[in-house]
Amino acid sequence: MSIVVTGATGHLGRHVVEQLLEKVPADRITAVVRTPEKAADFADRGVRVAVADYNAPETFQGLFSAGDKVLLISGNEFDKGRVGQHEGVLDAAKAAGVALFAYTSAPGSLKAALADDHRGTEEAILASGVPYVLLRNGWYNENYTEQLTPVLEHGAVVQAAGEGRVASAARADYAAAAVAVLTGEGHENKTYELSGDTAWGFAEYAAELSEQTGQEIAYNPVTVEALTGILTGVGLPEPVAAMLAGVDASIEKGELAVTTGDLSRLTGRPTTPIAESVAVALKG
Ligand SMILES: NC(=O)c1ccc[n+]([C@@H]2O[C@H](COP(=O)([O-])OP(=O)(O)OC[C@H]3O[C@@H](n4cnc5c(N)ncnc54)[C@H](OP(=O)(O)O)[C@@H]3O)[C@@H](O)[C@H]2O)c1
């Protein structure tokens, strides 16, 4: 019986494995990765490393054991059919008879196209009959704080979200919620709407950046079309740029401002304020 984490060498996955190591013996953790060299540090610490690729469902066959608790971290290959990728993992987990199948989904309130793969995956999970947990993760603070270079260069936060607000939290917070579910009891067939404790707007965010950098930084709201153009201009493929800019339209409508308290209840502590993630990012 193991706690199995896919996407373990990603940003969120690394936080999950690190936090699991604080709670359970290393040999009870399996990190599923597609590039084992990236997981050498985990292997050195006694974590079992398994190699599998969402694009090759057969690589997941035989990877799980009866009674395992699995965290499927959603993939990031938008053009590869993520629902099908995730179904490959789910089928193998079902065949093995896992005790729990947790999935990092998107907020139920989010109607942007980006959420479609998550809704499709949720439907497959529910139809499978496997004991599940839906971790409907809200936005990461780091979506913004890890993109500070152009902001500082131009003295402007450029978003297409109008006066919309975002209840974001740090990746480490969402990881802590996943760890609470994977190491705790009584989470079967629950759906958690995870978000930061408070929602903030981009004008406030720009003011926080100004305060912490000593540089005048303004919020420059633009249209979704203009933001799509900016993102394609820096090299993103048009469909991805449109999908990301579409999230801003959702933010303007309040779809990512919902605060349920589920995240801090699961972790037992307040979520990380955006100001704290800004400070971490500025320290570099
Ligand atoms: N809530 C939010 O604000 C937000 C923001 C961005 C993304 N997300 C979603 O949350 C997920 C986790 O976030 P993150 O920050 O950890 O993203 P990330 O750093 O991009 O991690 C994605 C993980 O998925 C793995 N992966 C991708 N394609 C794979 C494949 N074909 N086979 C096996 N593994 C594959 C990657 O493997 P490698 O380590 O080998 O690259 C990586 O470990 C993302 O993938 C995305 O679905 C959420």
14 Cα to the center of ligand 1, angstroms? 11
> Is pLDDT above 90 for 173?
yes
For ligand 1, the distance from its centroid to the CA atom of residue 225, given in whole angstroms, is 26
Q: What is the pLDDT of residue 85?
A: 98
Residue 67 falls in which region: left (phi positive, over 0), alpha (psi -120 to 50) or beta: left
| pLDDT given for residue 57 in this prediction | 97
Q: What is the mean pLDDT of residues 26-50?
A: 98
d(CA 151, CA 147): 7
* Distance separating alpha carbons of residues 80 and 54, to the nearest angstrom: 9
Alpha-carbon radius of gyration of the chain = 19
The pLDDT tens digits for 53-101 are 999 999 999 999 999 999 999 999 988 999 999 999 999 999 999 999 9
Beta strand pairing status for 218-221 and 165-166? unpaired
pLDDT on residue 284: 85
* pLDDT for the residue 83: 98
> Which ligand 1 atom is nearest residue 53's CA?
32
Mean pLDDT of 202-229: 98
Helix (H, G, I), strand (E, B) or coil at 164: coil
Tell me if the pTM is above 0.95. yes
Range list of H helices, 1-115: 11-21, 40-44, 82-96
User: How is residue 274 written in tokens?
Assistant: 């955006």
Q: Which residues line ligand 1 (CB under 6 A)?
A: 7, 9-13, 34-35, 38, 53-55, 73-77, 104, 137, 139-140, 143
CA–centroid distance, residue 256 to ligand 1 (Å): 20
pLDDT > 70 fraction of the chain, expressed in percent and rounded: 100
Taking the CA of residue 55 as reference, the ligand 1 atom at the shortest distance is: 31
Mean pLDDT of 182-200: 98
For 218-259, what is each residue's pLDDT tens digit?
999 999 999 999 999 999 999 999 999 999 999 999 999 999
Quick one: pLDDT at residue 1? 83
Mutate to test the pocket of ligand 1, among 5, 6, 9, 12 (most ligand atoms within 8 A of CB): 12
CA distance 139 to 120: 19
Residue 201 predicted with pLDDT over 90: yes
User: In this structure, what token pair is assigned to residue 272?
Assistant: 């990380």
